[in-house]
Amino acid sequence: MAYGIEILSGNGNLQVSSNYSDSGFIVTDTYTSVNSITYDRSKDLIFARPASGGGNQYVGLSTTSGTGSVTRTFQDTSGNSVNMEVIKGRFASEFTASTSGYGVQVFNSDGSLVFDSQQYSAGTTNARGGFSVTDYVPAFDLNGQPNLSSPITTDGRKFANMDPTLIDNSGDGFYMQYLFRDAGSNEGIFWESYFNVTFELGSTSSYFSNFNPILIGEGGSV
């Protein structure tokens, strides 16, 4: 960069850049074991993993037609609720810069807030530091059918962004979900997306690509 400030994680991933208002991701809440989550779809990002490791778990968020603040349930393919460990946060540009106290603030050239160290507590005792994206998959890069020899990451205990997921119902409908494998073989995180429909003589599933980017990462102190 020609001017400004950049902060990289230990593995070289960009955490904060004064050139990009959406580079400063701030964790606002964490949950150790919940089966539903309330968040603002226009501002919050939700990252999650199964609360208990050592298994193979398909999981996605329940369908919703709402905008703004919504409550969705973590479900498996059969529609059963699943307890998840959750990291919820927002980009720094969604916050108003603090005008008192102490800490570090970074703005980009148009005045947008990029980083504010005071926001890391965000008024809640659940907030725990930052978040590092370690793996990224562009939209339409996966065919939707999990390949156990080719995971997004081989670490089945990392966190995956959940808002692109959708479990329409426990029968016919859309299924866009993650498979978390942490059971000793073919470990990792995989993506699955398909449409299931039942006919008079049986049912069939058609796989399709991921409509949205996939982000995998880990919390700084989670």
Mean per-residue pLDDT for 52-69? 87
**What is the structure's pLDDT at 89?**
83
Kindly report the backbone phi and psi dihedral angles of residue 94, in degrees, each rounded to the nearest multiple of 5, phi listed first. Answer: -80, -10
Instruction: With respect to residue 206, please indicate whether it lies within any of the assigned structural domains.
Output: yes
Q: What is the pLDDT of residues 184-194, one digit of tens each?
A: 889 999 999 99
What confidence tier does 62 reach under pLDDT thresholds 50, 70, 90? very high
Task: Tell which wins on pLDDT, 53 or 181.
Answer: 181
Say if residue 157's pLDDT is above 90. yes
Kindly report the backbone phi and psi dihedral angles of residue 176, in degrees, each rounded to the nearest multiple of 5, phi listed first. Answer: -125, 110
Percent of the chain residues topping a pLDDT of 90:
43
What confidence tier does 221 reach under pLDDT thresholds 50, 70, 90? very low
Q: What is the pLDDT of residues 98-151, one digit of tens each?
A: 666 655 666 666 666 656 655 555 444 444 556 778 898 999 999 999 999 999
For 150, the token pair is 């080719």
**What is the structure's pLDDT at 10?**
52
**What is the structure's pLDDT at 123?**
43
CB 50 within 8 A of CB 84: yes
Count of domains observed in the chain: 1
Q: What is the pLDDT of residues 194-207, one digit of tens each?
A: 998 877 676 778 99
**What is the structure's pLDDT at 125?**
44
Contacts 24+ apart (CB under 8 A), 174-178: 174/63, 175/60, 175/77, 176/60, 176/210, 176/211, 177/58, 177/59, 177/60, 177/77, 178/58, 178/59, 178/60
What confidence tier does 181 reach under pLDDT thresholds 50, 70, 90? very high
Mean per-residue pLDDT for 49-69? 88
The burial class, CB within 10 Å (0-12 / 13-18 / 19+), for 12 is: exposed
DSSP bridge pairs for 87 = 30, 47
What confidence tier does 48 reach under pLDDT thresholds 50, 70, 90? very high
CB 62 within 8 A of CB 73: yes
**What is the structure's pLDDT at 122?**
46
> Domain range spanning residue 92?
6-219
Classified as helix, coil or strand, 148 is: coil
Give residue 108's identity as a one-letter amino acid code.
N
Instruction: With respect to residue 86, please indicate whether it lies within any of the assigned structural domains.
Output: yes
Instruction: With respect to residue 1, please indicate whether it lies within any of the assigned structural domains.
Output: no
Q: What is the pLDDT of residues 79-98, one digit of tens each?
A: 899 999 999 987 765 555 56
**What is the structure's pLDDT at 21?**
47
Instruction: With respect to residue 182, please indicate whether it lies within any of the assigned structural domains.
Output: yes
**What is the structure's pLDDT at 220?**
58
Instruction: With respect to residue 70, please indicate whether it lies within any of the assigned structural domains.
Output: yes
